[in-house]
Amino acid sequence: MDAATLEQALDAIRTRAYFSAFPESPSPRVYGQDAAPVGQAAFEAWQGAEFPVRTPGSRGTVATESSPFGITLGVRYPHVTGDGLDELIRAARAGMVRWRDAGPDTRAEIALEILDRLHQRVFELANAVMATTGQAFVMAFQAGGTHALDRALEAVAFAHAEMTRHPATMVWERPAKGEPLRMEKTFTVVPRGVAVVIGCTTFPTWNSWPGLFASLVTGNPVVVKPHPRAVLPLAITVQVCQEVLADRGFDPHLVTLAAEAEGEGMAKDLATRSEVRIVDFTGSAAFGEWLEKHATQAQVYTEKSGVNPIVVDSTDSFRGLTTNLAFTLALYSGQMCTTTQNVFVPAGGIETDEGHKSFEDVGAGLAAAIDKLLADDARAVEILGAIVNDDVRGRVERSGELGEMVLESRAVLHPMHPDAVVRTPAIVAVDASTVGYAEDAVYARECFGPVTFLVRTADTRQSLDLMRRLGHARGAMTAGVYATSEGVLDATREVALDIGVALSENLTGGVYVNQSAAFSDFHGTGANPAANAAYVDAAYVAGRFRVVQSRRHSPA
């Protein structure tokens, strides 16, 4: 990775054109024959081992992970508790001035080197992400590896652009009577303070790297607080950061790993410390809102949860609609913050290229597309992955209580991981008109995992009304619409702007509502309750540093 890559990334974030710096195919043709086995062996070497990363303030180790696939983990990490936070924070701050003085270009260059070395370990990372999250391998390789690297690079590029929009030094000359007034001015980017990144179980790298790299490249030390069930991908990340920092003569503790046992609640203690000035969080709405309210000494960037809608009004490709949506609902068992939860369909059905389809026809078409996609167990598990925890399993198992079953969830035996809990998506039909105010309806709460509601509305007008009300009340990370009329599309765009959600229109091909392309698509908007920030825009990076100037007379 070199300066040219950064230039390409800088171009892409401006033009929003297609760009990727990290090949997404794990094929041997791209990465060579050895890459996969070497990466897997590297992952396996961690199983049951003590992970060799040093965290100041830690006492002993903690092992907290258990794989949704039943893959052995048992990796031990330095255990940080409240007692050690003083030491941890002190160590995090120790290298801050030197890191600040390195300047934006050097910091960006070092960040690129870290990304490069993470990329060299992408198969190891993919195995770690797969084992901890339940993502199938290819998805773990992409969402946990190459796509996450692209998002991290995007954050580095955006931060570099913002840090260098002013000159580092210049001479200001003001016309005056007689001699002009000349001042030499220096503008220095300074960090805000310690940054804390709070990771999640399902996307430990994809959701943590943008904040981690945005904070680091703007000069801040970063304490990485992984979710206790998905530590290894971030432990590897911290290890690589520390190696590169040390190699380049900087304090390796500019990036540290703060692992804890489940339920110890260190995130609250960390996030509210006066030295902590930036918090990045992915996780529950409840804790995200707590952080926004209580970590007021810090800039807080949250991605919480939403209730993602698709409004189905009509289509010129019923087959495209059902096929596209089936993949969205099946991918990683719907355990993405971007997966559609509610599909709003008029009670009277919809017009399609295959003629009129009743509400039931739409449900049946979608069910058939899912059945077809997942007919072969060996192929199904590579799309579904595994259910990440018992809460999700419970929800899918009890989904029959929520309404009328359109498609029952089915347990799939994973051919290679017999202990894995694998479930196909359930579709539950509910009636919008019987539930009174939308916020009380079952479909109006986030139902994370492979349960989708087919919501029977009076008409598209009501579908849009529900999309709007739920968007304001609960937020959404994504939204979709299928309509052949410009009027309906316009009305949906208007609702999407009103609730501040990214809209995908008539997706019938190889682009899915739950996927976003780094450098082009923003992930989240920050404009509704689902998230207060987007990956990656200027607002995401500009508050992570400050500019401090000095000025002095300058001889002519």
Residues that bind a copy of itself (CB under 8 A): 14-18, 97, 100, 162, 165-167, 170, 172-176, 181, 183, 185, 187-188, 190, 192, 292-293, 296, 493, 496-498, 500-511, 517, 520-522, 525-527, 534, 537-539, 542-543, 546-553
Please compute, for residue 61, the number of CA atoms within 13 A of its CA located in the half-sphere on the CB side: 14
Cα 54 from chain centroid (whole Å): 26
Of 51 and 512, the one with the shorter C-beta distance to a copy of itself is 512
State the minimum distance, in angstroms, from the CB of residue 551 to a copy of itself: 6
Cα 4 from chain centroid (whole Å): 26
Of 413 and 547, the one with the shorter C-beta distance to a copy of itself is 547
State the minimum distance, in angstroms, from the CB of residue 16 to a copy of itself: 6
CA distance 53 to 67: 21
State the minimum distance, in angstroms, from the CB of residue 337 to a copy of itself: 17
Report whether the peptide linkage leading into residue 536 is cis, meaning its omega lies within 30 degrees of zero.
yes
State the minimum distance, in angstroms, from the CB of residue 126 to a copy of itself: 22
What are the structure tokens assigned to 88, written together? Answer: 């941890």
CA distance 252 to 120: 20
State the minimum distance, in angstroms, from the CB of residue 290 to a copy of itself: 11
Asked if residue 279 lies in contact with residue 295, where contact means CB atoms within 8 angstroms, the answer is yes
**C-alpha distances in angstroms, 13 versus 50, 351, 403?**
40, 39, 44
Task: Map residue 449 onto helix, strand or coil.
Answer: coil
Of 38 and 94, the one with the shorter C-beta distance to a copy of itself is 94
Of 58 and 504, the one with the shorter C-beta distance to a copy of itself is 504
**105 CB-contact burial (10 Å; exposed 0-12 / middle 13-18 / buried 19+):** middle
Of 120 and 549, the one with the shorter C-beta distance to a copy of itself is 549
Asked if residue 407 lies in contact with residue 367, where contact means CB atoms within 8 angstroms, the answer is yes
- Cβ neighbors of 255 (< 8 A, separation 6 or more) are 212, 216, 221, 222, 224, 238, 241, 242, 245
Of 30 and 497, the one with the shorter C-beta distance to a copy of itself is 497
State the minimum distance, in angstroms, from the CB of residue 218 to a copy of itself: 11
What are the structure tokens assigned to 317, written together? Answer: 């490709």
CB atoms within 10 A of CB 147: 22
State the minimum distance, in angstroms, from the CB of residue 497 to a copy of itself: 5
CA distance 227 to 312: 36
State the minimum distance, in angstroms, from the CB of residue 482 to a copy of itself: 11
What are the structure tokens assigned to 66, written together? Answer: 């258990």
